[in-house]
Amino acid sequence: MSEGRTAWEQIEAARRYTLNMLSNVDRKDWFRQPSEGVTHIAWQVGHLASAQYMLCLARARGERAEDAGLLPPQMISLFMRDSAPTPDPSKYPTPTELLATLERVHAAAKSEALHKSDEELRQPALGKPHPIFTEKLGALFWCARHEMLHTGQIGLLKRLLGYAPQW
């Protein structure tokens, strides 16, 4: 099996876990912050879509004008690492829109990842240096790990919002 396919299988497993974690969250809870300064579920989902775009598409093949149809440009600023979540739903896409974006980016990333040879994936990742990886393949593996990290945060948020533990 190619290394790219192995990386993609890890991304798929992480996504299944994320979607399962989100499956019972009431839409009214997506923007609730358990305390000031703490993120919310909507931010986590938007961040996962933005990060997957950056890791699997921008770093693998570069950004393209048509990518605005996958991930509206304002989502990058709303959901990247240094953004500050607010509980005001009017500042964000709806949960339905966030899930649709998550799916669009995921489908595009899958198409891109599975069409690259291991040789192509061993090339340096595009963009500024990253502390975790240097190659395109490393960006794919980090995408899976990064998603699991944020799905853990979703699980913690759910507990703080009163949801029962979920596997």
Tens-place pLDDT, residues 44-61: 999 999 999 999 999 999
Is residue 1's pLDDT more than 80? no
Report domain 3-160's class.
mainly alpha
Residue 106 corresponds to which tokens in the numbers above? Answer: 């995921």
Question: Where do the domains of the chain lie?
Answer: 3-160
Is residue 18's pLDDT more than 90? yes
Tens-place pLDDT, residues 25-49: 999 999 999 988 889 999 999 999 9
DSSP code per residue over 62-107: ---GGGGGTS-HHHHHHHSTT----S-GGGS--HHHHHHHHHHHHH
Report the C-alpha gap between 96 and 41 in whole angstroms: 13
Report the C-alpha gap between 121 and 119 in whole angstroms: 5
Report the C-alpha gap between 139 and 99 in whole angstroms: 22
Tens-place pLDDT, residues 78-128: 999 889 899 999 999 999 999 999 999 999 999 988 889 999 999 999 999
The CA-atom distances, in angstroms, between 45 and each of 11, 28, 41, 105 are 15, 15, 6, 12
